[in-house]
Structure 1
Amino acid sequence: MKYTFKTQVRVRYVEVDQSGFVYNGNYATYYEVARSEALRDMGYTYKKMEDDGIIMPLVNQYSRFHKPAYYDDLLTIITTVPKLPEARIRFEYEIFNQKNEKINSGYNELIFLNAEKRRPQRAPQWFIDLFIKYAEENA
């Protein structure tokens, strides 16, 4: 069971380096935008998560660059959560340019952390239920 979501971002001038390509560090920001919007699509926001006493720090990230992106490109980011979250959740990303060419792929993993105790915890059952609902609706 997996959940997939699509969002778009336009490359801003500040995101390109002297070569004219999107600077590699900006892909982490694109992943963050896509992840936040995917959670919002499921009806859950980082703000609500913090209000519920959960934080989700990043523990692992990988990015592969296939082709460069340029200023003013409209990028489509497909975000997939490939399996039910447990104590960690994995988000996978594919980024395409307006010619539908894959320019980047990668993933990151975050853990569910009790904000007060600063200790790992399993994903809350209501979050798993929400994930299942949206995965089934988007199957």
Structure 2
Amino acid sequence: MFVATKEIEVRYAETDQMGVVYHANYLVWMELGRTALIQELGFNYAEMEKDGIISPVMDIQVSYKKPVRYGEKATIRTWIEHYDGLRIVYGYEIFTADGELSVTGESKHVCVKKDSFRPISVKKKYPDWHEAYEKAKKQSVEA
């Protein structure tokens, strides 16, 4: 399975008064993981935005297992859970520095024209990106 890995050092600003990472910050970390995955596949999301295409979150699911605290490091693992040429579902696991599972999640996206929010076919607009996602998806299925 093709999995991108990104390490995060927990900053004080990401925590609550108890020194525990505030729950919404895990969503930001998932975005960092998604960006790392896209980069490891050889693409750049910012370049797609310059073309007038964005990929908004349609749905997001998060399950909290164990807190991550200030001064620790966390590791985000990101992969393509599902891709059909239009919709993309990314899977996530976030681990504590000790390797314990902290968070699991999924985010669903679709690529749309920025000005109209009309969906586009990744296969037609970005054939190289489509091929890379198909290959990464197959690796996920074969694992």
Question: Is contact 2:82–2:90 with CA below 8 Å preserved after alignment?
Answer: no
Shift of 1:50: 1.3
The alpha-carbon deviation at position 35 of structure 1 amounts to: 0.6
AA aligned to 1:8 is E
CA distance in 2, matches of 1:44, 1:83: 18
Which 5+ residue runs of structure 2 have no aligned equivalent? none
8 Å contact kept, 1:90–1:109: yes
Which residue in the other structure is 1:128 paired with? 130
Which runs of at least 4 in structure 1 moved beyond 3 Å after TM superposition? 132-139
TM-score with structure 2 length normalisation? 0.86
Q: Distance in 2 between matches of 1:52 and 1:96?
A: 35
Gaps of at least 5 residues in structure 1 are none
Q: Distance in 2 between matches of 1:113 and 1:107?
A: 19
Structure 1 Cα separation of the partners of residues 57 and 137 of structure 2 = 23
Give the aligned CA root-mean-square deviation in angstroms. 2.0
Q: CA deviation at 1:48?
A: 1.2
Count of residues in correspondence between the two structures: 138
Contact 1:73 1:97 survives alignment (8 Å): yes
Identity rate of aligned residues, in percent? 29
Aligned runs of 1:60-75 on 2, under 5 Å?
60-75=59-74
TM-score (norm 1): 0.88
1 or 2, which has the higher helix percentage?
2
Q: Which amino acid aligns with 2:102?
A: I
